[in-house]
Amino acid sequence: MANKTLGYILMGVGLVIFALSYPGIRAVVGVPIPASVGDNYILVLGLVLLAAGAFIGFRKSGAEQAKEVPIYEGHGKERKLVGIQRLGK
């Protein structure tokens, strides 16, 4: 759960930095960026943070093991359910 929150935060920060890579948006917001830092570097940083946040936020937490599995007897259409086996706790 904490990893998903961290991923969403990284995505938000990456999106803000990505938006700030455009001079027009920086002028409207009023955020000064040093001239030595190019717009392309800011753009790449924003995209990297956005991609890392998406990877962390949308990643599945792991494979889940089935809690119960059916036990069948027979083959094909003749197959009958004879029980359910519980796995682990």
| pLDDT tens sequence across 19-37 | 988 888 888 988 888 888 8
From CA 65, how far away is CA 12, in angstroms rounded? 33
What b-and-e string marks burial along 10-21, b requiring 16 or more CB atoms within 10 Å of the CB?
Answer: bbeebeebbebb
At residue 14, the pLDDT reads 94
Which of 21, 61, 13 is CA-nearest to residue 37? Answer: 21
Residue ranges of the chain with per-residue pLDDT less than 70: 1, 61-63, 89
At residue 77, the pLDDT reads 87
- Residue spans of the domains in the chain: they are 2-58
